[in-house]
Structure 1
Amino acid sequence: MNPYLLTDLWKETVEDHSILLGEPPEHSVRTIALSELHDEEACREYIRWFQDYIDAPDMKVAASMLAKRLGYLWTTPLVTAMTFHHQHVTFQLENSFLYHPKLEEHEEGTRFPFLAVNGLQAEALTGDRALWREKVAQEMFAVQLTPLLKTLTAVAPLSMSILWENIMVRIGPLYIPDEDEIERGRKHVQADFSYLTQVASGQVFGVRKNPLTRFTECKDNGYVAKSERITCCFYYQMSGEYCRKCPKIDNENESQLK
C-alpha cells in the first residue's frame, strides 16, 4: 500500500467527504457500484429509484442531484489528492459503491448516497508535472466520470452543460486563493486550476472541447470559478428554494418587481 493512504492528509480528505474505506454496510437501503452506472439500463433503474427515494419531481432533477453528489464524493477527493498532495489516487469503479444507509444509522440523516471504496490505489507524482497531470486528469474524467455523465443524459432529459457545472461547483472552491499560502504554493495551485479549466483539451475529458472553461472567469490575472452559475441544477424544484448561485434568482427578483 502506498504510504500516502495512511497519512493524516488522506484520512482528513476521506473524513471531509464522508468516504467509507472498505465494503459498503450490509444493511444499506440501496447499494450500487459506480461501474454499474456506466450501463444505461442499470443507471436508468437506479435513477428511477433515486427519484422516488429523494422525492424529486422527475428523473431530470434526480440525475442532476446525483451528479452534484458525485462531484462531492468522487471528483473532489481525487482532485484534492492531485493538486494539494501530489498523489494519483484511483478509485476502481467496480470496487467503489454508492450506498444509502438507513437514516437512523448515519449522523447526516440524508437520503443522498455516500461512497464506500475498496481496493484504493495511489501513486506519488514525480517528474514532469505537466505529463502526469494530464494522465491523472484523463483517467479521472475521460475514462471514468464522463462516460457516467453521458449515461445520465441518456436516461434523463438534461444537458451535459448542467452536469459539468454541477461538477465545477465542487471543484472550484478548492482553488480559491488562500492568503496564508506561500507564493510558490499559490502559483502551483493556480497552474493546476488553469490547466483543468483552460489548457486541457477536450480529449482529456472525453468530449470535443474542455467542458469547464465556460464556467470560469479571469480575475486578478488568474482564473477563478464564476461566482454565479450559468445553468440551473433544478435544486429549487425539490427544495422550494434556490441555491445561492442559481441564475434563476435574478429572473425571479425581476418578475416580482414588475
Structure 2
Amino acid sequence: MKNDLLEADEWEYLKKHFRMNEASALQLTPTHPAAHLLDEEKCAGYLDQMTAFMASPSRKVTASLLAKRYAFLTVAPTLYAMTMYNKGLDASIGNYCLVLSEQSSDPWLSHMGMRILAVSSPKDGCRNEWRDRVLAGLFAENIAPVWRNLSKLARIPRTILWENAAVRLFSLYEKRMEKEATGEIIERIRDDFSYLVKLAPPALFGEDSHPFAPFYGEEPAVHASNQPARIRKTCCYYYQVAKEEDYCDACPRANRR
C-alpha cells in the first residue's frame, strides 16, 4: 500500500461537493473532535444543543438528522475518493473534527475537518484487500460505534441510522458517480457498489449482519411525485422539523399517502 496526497483538483472537488476541509484551515472556527460522539456525556450534550437549535421534538429525531449529516460528511467523500480516484482517505474517527454552526443559513453540522490528508492507494493486483481496509476504517471503526452511541443515547433503532447512510451511498453510486464517470471507472463504480450493498462481509461494517443489504432493491420504485426513486423502509423523521411538515422524496410516509 502506497501513501500519497490527493491532487489539487481532487481535494477541491471534495471541499466543494462534500464540505471537507483541512483541519488547520479551520483554526478561527470552533471545532470539536469527532471522537466526542463516542463519549456519552459529550455526545448527549451535542444532541441536546442540536435539539434546541433545530426546535426538534426529541433526541430521537435529532439523532437521526445528525446521522444523516454525519454520513454525508464522512461516507460520501471517503467512498467517492475510493472509487473515483482510487485513493483511500484516513476515515478513522480520530482524524475528523466537527464544525458546529449555529447560523440559520448553515446546517448545524456544517463542515468536517481532516487532520491527516495523506491517502493510501492500492498496490497492483491488491485492490480488493486495500478496499477492505478503507471500508473497515470508515464503517467498523467510525460509523458503527457512532451509530451505537447515538442509538443508546437517543433510543433510536440502528436500522434508521444505517438507512440514513444507505441513502447517501445509493445516491452517490447511482446518480453522481454514474453521471460523472467514463471508461474503466464505470466498471469500478459498479464493482464497488455491488460489493458494498451485497457482498462485503458484515465485519467490515462492524455489524453481525450486512447493514445495507436490507435497504437495497434492484429496481427503484416510483414515489408520490411519479419520479423513479428508491423508497426508504424507515423514516428519518425529517418531516418533524421541516416547515409545513415537508417530506423527503423517498419518505415511506409520504409515499403511502
Matched pairs, number: 243
In the alignment, which residue of structure 2 is the partner of 1:246?
251
Matched, 1:142 2:140: yes
1:90-129 alignment runs, 5 A limit: 90-101=90-101, 103=103, 108-127=105-124, 128-129=126-127
In the alignment, which residue of structure 1 is the partner of 2:17?
16
The alpha-carbon deviation at position 226 of structure 1 amounts to: 6.5
1:1-40 alignment runs, 5 A limit: 3-23=4-24, 24-28=26-30, 31-40=31-40
Cα distance in 1 for residues equivalent to 2:90 and 2:180: 30
Which has the larger displacement, 225-234 or 63-72?
A: 225-234
| Residues 19 and 110 in structure 2, CA contact (< 8 A), matched pair in contact too | no
Q: Which amino acid aligns with 2:240?
A: Q
Q: TM-score scaled to structure 2, two decimals?
A: 0.86
Cα distance in 2 for residues equivalent to 1:42 and 1:179: 40
Q: TM-score scaled to structure 1, two decimals?
A: 0.86
Tell me, which stretches of 5 or more residues in structure 1 are unaligned? 254-258
Cα distance in 1 for residues equivalent to 2:13 and 2:170: 19
SS at match of 1:116: strand
In the alignment, which residue of structure 1 is the partner of 2:193?
193
| Residues 91 and 121 in structure 1, CA contact (< 8 A), matched pair in contact too | no
Tell me, which stretches of 5 or more residues in structure 2 are unaligned? 221-227
In the alignment, which residue of structure 1 is the partner of 2:238?
235
Segments ≥4 residues shifted beyond 6 Å:
none
| Residues 53 and 102 in structure 2, CA contact (< 8 A), matched pair in contact too | no
| Residues 83 and 189 in structure 1, CA contact (< 8 A), matched pair in contact too | yes
In the alignment, which residue of structure 1 is the partner of 2:203?
203
| Residues 75 and 138 in structure 2, CA contact (< 8 A), matched pair in contact too | yes
Q: Which amino acid aligns with 1:96?
A: Y
SS at match of 2:107: coil
| Residues 71 and 166 in structure 1, CA contact (< 8 A), matched pair in contact too | yes
From the superposition, tell whether residues 180 and 233 of structure 1 become closer, same or farther in structure 2 (CA, over 3 Å). closer
Q: Which amino acid aligns with 2:254?
A: I
Q: Which amino acid aligns with 1:32?
A: H
Cα distance in 2 for residues equivalent to 1:98 and 1:180: 29
Cα distance in 1 for residues equivalent to 2:20 and 2:182: 30
SS at match of 1:88: coil
Query: Structure 1, residues 144-179: CA drift from partner, whole Å, max 9, x if none?
Result: 111011000010011111001101111111211636
